[in-house]
Each structure stands twice: as structure tokens, then as C-alpha cells.
Amino acid sequence: MRPKIAAGNWKMNGTAAALSELDALTRALPENPPQIVICPPSPLLFRATDAVHGSPIQIGAQDCHAEASGAYTGDISAPMVADSGASHVILGHSERREMHRETDADVQAKTRAAWTSGLTAIICIGESDAQREAGETLDVIGAQLDGSLPEGVTAENTVIAYEPIWAIGTGKVPSLEQIAEVHDFIRNRLATRFGAEIGNALPLLYGGSVKASNATEIFAVENVDGALVGGASLKADDFAPIVAALARA
């Protein structure tokens, strides 16, 4: 059985006061919750890991550098993330790919760095609106998978998150058929490259305007093992129903 994972990406939101939402989320969890990973901004990592101590919630970072140390002002390394007590790191998010010009090769190098520090990489892939309209979705997804994933992928060190760029924070959600098509494609691509045992064991998350009102139907799609949630993860009242829907799936 693949793990069910509810991951929350706080992006550039939240100060220390926002950590009270972690306590509220803990108190709102169902009896048998899925795996939960909250990824706050890097200045909050140490305090966040302290805040969730003893709870089912794990903490992740939103990025890491490919190098372990050096003259990279403003960056955060994988050893620093691990030192905070975090267990995961988001890599290759579309906002990093677009705004910081990160390539698939960059994501692959960062993934290796994350693994070296014992972190689980949540690797993001997804197509733009123009690529979707041009019928290029599967070609784009395939190329990102091939370029972003190093050899050595396992179900313990890697999670894949499919986030169609045009659905992130827009309120637009792909049809269930579109989500199923991409997730089935990813599953088959992974099994072909890494073998059926690994390919079928890797958790696949969907991300893009996931909320309480649509979570149940999305989680019912085959090969959707959870979600990477943006804005709805900032408040426990919004995120807890998504977690509960995944627990029931």
C-alpha cells in the first residue's frame, strides 16, 4: 500500500504567529490520519519542528541548494534543512522553475543533495495553460520526469507532485479524467524506467486549487495518493477537511 500524503506549501506566507495553526491542525486531525507534511518558509523551520513535536505532522522546506555549503547568499542547503529537524523538501515547484529559471537538471542536482542529507524530495512537475491547449501535456510531463529524477529513486526518498501550472491558485481544476490521464501516465513512466516495484510504490500527489469541496472526488481518482496544497494549507480550518477526506479515501 502506498502512503497517503497531505502536504501543505505555505509559500512566502506566515510569521511565528502562524505556527499556532499547526497546533490547531493537530487537534483537528482524524483518528487515523494520513501522512501530513507542512512546508513553511525557511525562517520558521526550526520553530515549526518544535511546534509539531509529538504530533503526526512532519515539516518540510520549500527548496534547497544543490551544494552543501558555499558562497550562495540567501540560499538554504539540504544539510541546513535536515538540521532543522525537517524531513522533506519541495523541489522543482513551477514558481521556482519560472521565476528562478530552474531547469530539470537543477532539480535533479537538488534532489541528489536532498537524498544525501536524508530528506525526502517532493518533486513537482506540471504543464502551462499554453502547453495544455497545444496538446503537449504528456510530452512536457514525460520530459520533466526524465530530466528531474536521478537514478536511485525509491518510494522512501521521493514523492511526485503533479501540479498543472494553470490550476495553481486560480480556482481552475482539471477534470477528473484529465487528472487520471496524467497520473496514469506518470505511474507507467515511472514503472518503465525504475521497474514495476518502485514505479508502483512511489506516491503521486495532485496539486492545484485543491479544497475541501473537491478533495473527496480528486482522492477517488486512481493513482492519486494525496495532495500538495497551497493556500488552503495556511489555515487549519481549511486544511483539516482535506486531510479528513484523504483519510477516508
Name the 3-class secondary structure at 84. Answer: coil
Q: What would the grid cell of residue 84 be?
A: 532543522
Report yes or no: 218 and 8 within 8 Å, Cβ to Cβ: no
User: Which residues, including other chains, have CB under 8 Å from residue 106's CB and lie 6 or more apart?
Assistant: 66, 92
Other residues' Cβ atoms within 10 Å of the Cβ of residue 103:
12
**88 catalytically annotated:** no
Of these residues, 65, 102, 163, 183, which one is catalytic? 163
Output phi, psi for 113, to 5 deg: -65, -40
Please tell me the distance from the alpha carbon of residue 111 to that of residue 123, in angstroms, as a whole number.
8
Of these residues, 88, 93, 95, 127, which one is catalytic? 93
Please tell me the distance from the alpha carbon of residue 91 to that of residue 7, in angstroms, as a whole number.
13
Output phi, psi for 95, to 5 deg: -70, -35
**163 catalytically annotated:** yes
Please tell me the distance from the alpha carbon of residue 109 to that of residue 65, in angstroms, as a whole number.
9
Q: What would the grid cell of residue 241 be?
A: 477537511
Please tell me the distance from the alpha carbon of residue 88 to that of residue 81, in angstroms, as a whole number.
8
Task: Give the residue numbers annotated as catalytic, written as ranges.
Answer: 93, 163
